[in-house]
Chain A
Amino acid sequence: MIDESVLERLPLIAGEFLREALPYPWNWIVRSLLVIVGILAVFGGLFAALTLAERKLLGRFQNRPGPNRTTIPFTRIRLFGLFQPIADALKILTKEDIVPRSADRLLHFLAPVSLVAFALITFAVIPFGRHIVPVELDAAVLYFFAAGTASELAVFMAGWASRNKYSLLGAMRALAQLISYELPLLLSFVPVIMLAGTLSTTGIVDAQDGWVAGFIPKWHVLTPWGLVGFVVFLIAAFAESNRAPFDLPEAESEIIAGHLTEYSGFKYALFFMAEYLGMCALSAMGVTLFLGGWRAPLPLLEIIPSYAWFAVKLLSVLFLFIWVRATLPRLRMDQLMRLAWKFLVPAGLLNLLAAASWQLTAGWSATALGLGARWALAFAIVVIPLHLLARTMTRHHQPRVYRYA
């Protein structure tokens, strides 16, 4: 494009400048280095900010002020506790690193490291802006899934290597949960891939280009199958990132801290970091697939650089994660499995049918009546069977009666 602003082309200009400035053996790897440093810096900083934002927001969601006592170092100025992440980092880095005597030392060390590594490499295929795509892969979505699934291995590694029954129970729960929810997550992605006709994330963002009636963006979430897919994706993403209401693997009241039980100090911090990075990566993928990636919501707003829009969308989804965590209580193991296999998987499959019908009725959009019928058909395919399914699943549910309370 010709009329791109300087801000929009800033990453290109910076990359070009570094390529020119550096001597021969370095200039060809400068792009990779830039990407690695950029991801580590941006998402490392986001991790720190998220831990604080989560605690502050959780407090406000429960009518508490949240952490607000940390001072600026060497002063007595509190500034709403904005320096809490620094205090947390200092505390956790100076803690003793304990390895149980009967633990498998190598695996015990390897688990947090590999977990963070797997969480980090998923960022490689996310298009953060018009000119910020770390790696252009044709099979980007497949790669994302492969990297994301590998983290399950690391979690089980942690549980097994700790030689602790709570760790092992937590790891087995985590494995069961992650594998179960991998399926609805995948099924929510399939219609997007099917209709965009590509596995490349840049291709999927390009498929969401353009406007309906000049101002409504063509994001996938604004189609019936996209909306259902986004909801399925969100539920599966909550479960995949081990967060409330799906935090059974580290349920404090039941199994201490699950696979984290035998970890302390920096290794514990790494697990924490991997969890947040995984959450960010999944949210970024959701933004790319359903919320139009880095595209602006209105033609008028395209003057704001694309990466800013991506950041806004990513932070909104992360806010939703925190909001849901503040609201919903933890599920039971059987409820967790039932939701995945009896509800989300059928929902994903039905959504596939709805996407197919949406694609096949593309010609109806010429008239308003046809457009309405197209929406109604696609929704009916998903909503009616799901409603009936939910009715049969909740048939025996009734308000709980406490006889001895």
Chain B
Amino acid sequence: MLGSGIINGLAVTAKNLVGSFNDPKRLVTTEYPEQRTQIPEAFRNFPFLVCDDGDKSLETLRCVACQICEKECPPQCIYIEKSKDKKPDATGKPQFYPAVFDIDTSVCMSCQICVEVCPFEAIKMDQEFEIATGDRFGGLLFDRDRLTRSNAYYHCIHPTEAAAVDARLAADRKAAEEKAKAAAAAAAAKAAAAAKAKAEATAAPPAPKPPEGSPPAP
């Protein structure tokens, strides 16, 4: 019938009008500052620096100021100054650390390339999006202290990813320890062999030299 489509449409909107007063589920609006939705785990905004212990953030900062992220950053929003001295990292090995680490969030395009290239799992993507400020130069330039967040916080915002990163770091550390142990064992064996050879040399004519650069035990 002519006009039946219009009448059907009017019925739909009338149902909305009455229904939105009776059934709060119909109103899908989240009234933002008071109500918030759960941010999806995969959401990313701007990078932050991971430290292992939130209380001693500078001492446990994973970043070693290798400057790979600075070089890779497509919009060049990262600025790093390497420290003159060294501090021990999580494994106790002395490492450089970033004396200055700035990210200009007004330039950053949230591409995550810095995260992809970091060999130390030191830079990750944050979920903080309420960074609006009246000062568009200073207020949007994040320095090292503003960027540093604890590993616990990382677990909070990206649980799956953080668990994978921790497992990888632990495996790497374990492999390194085993490697060091094996190397120490090989060195000890070599030293023992050398001592033995020396003892034999004093007693007997010199034996043929062992092949040089013998690979350490795997």
Contact = CB atoms under 8 A, between A and B. Distances in A.
Interface of A: 57, 60-65, 323-324, 326-328, 386-387, 390, 394
Contacts of A327: 6, 9-10, 12-13
Contact of B28 (A61, A63, A326): A63
B10 A60 contact: no
B17 A390 contact: no
Interface string B28-70: 1101000000000000000000000000000000000000000
15 contacts: A57-B17, A61-B13, A61-B16, A61-B17, A62-B16, A63-B16, A63-B20, A63-B28, A64-B20, A64-B29, A65-B27, A65-B29, A327-B6, A328-B9, A390-B2
Q: Which 6 A-B pairs have the closest CB atoms?
A: A390-B2, A61-B13, A327-B13, A327-B9, A63-B26, A60-B20
Given A323-B10, A324-B10, A60 B2 contact: no
At the interface, is chain A mostly helix, strand, loop or mixed?
helix
B21 interface: yes
Contacts of B20: 60, 63-65
A62 B14 CA distance: 10
Interface of B: 2, 6, 9-10, 12-14, 16-17, 19-21, 26-29, 31
A323 B13 CA distance: 8
Contacts of A323: 10, 13-14, 17
Given A60-B21, A387-B2, A326 B13 contact: yes
Nearest to B6: A328
A322 to B, nearest CB: 10
B183 to A, nearest CB: 64
Contacts of B21: 60
Of A63, A324, A326, A394, which is in contact with the most chain B CB atoms at under 10 Å from its CB? A63
A60 B16 contact: yes
A324 B17 CA distance: 13
A62 B13 CA distance: 7
Nearest to B8: A327
A390 B26 CA distance: 37
B128 to A, nearest CB: 24
